[in-house]
């Protein structure tokens, strides 16, 4: 099986099969999750200095922050799914 990369903005990509959730950055629990990941060295900032719009949670417990909206990332994931 070939793993597909999903572009999350500014030349950055993540493996589609590693994504567990795509969340909006607006809620307090997500902000706490980001802070905890930062303290553990598990936060990856892929915003290139832009405003954070989404948080991607991976199966390795890494938290990736992106400047793309959750809707955009989800659409890109769904475009890549074969046979659906």
Q: Is 74 exposed, middle or buried (0-12, 13-18, 19+ CB in 10 A)?
A: middle
pLDDT tens digit sequence for 51-84: 999 999 999 999 999 999 999 999 999 986 666 5
Total of domains in the chain: 1
pLDDT tens digit sequence for 11-31: 999 999 999 999 999 999 999
pTM over 0.85: yes
pLDDT at 80: 61
- State the residue range of the domain holding 37: 5-80
């Amino acid at each position: 099986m070939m793993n597909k990369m999903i572009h999350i903005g500014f030349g950055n990509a993540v493996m589609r099969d590693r994504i567990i959730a795509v969340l909006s950055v607006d809620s307090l629990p997500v902000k706490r999750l980001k802070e905890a990941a930062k303290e553990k060295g598990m936060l990856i900032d892929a915003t290139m200095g832009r405003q954070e719009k989404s948080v991607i949670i991976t199966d390795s417990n890494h938290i990736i922050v992106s400047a793309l909206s959750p809707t955009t990332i989800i659409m890109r994931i769904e475009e890549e799914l074969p046979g659906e």
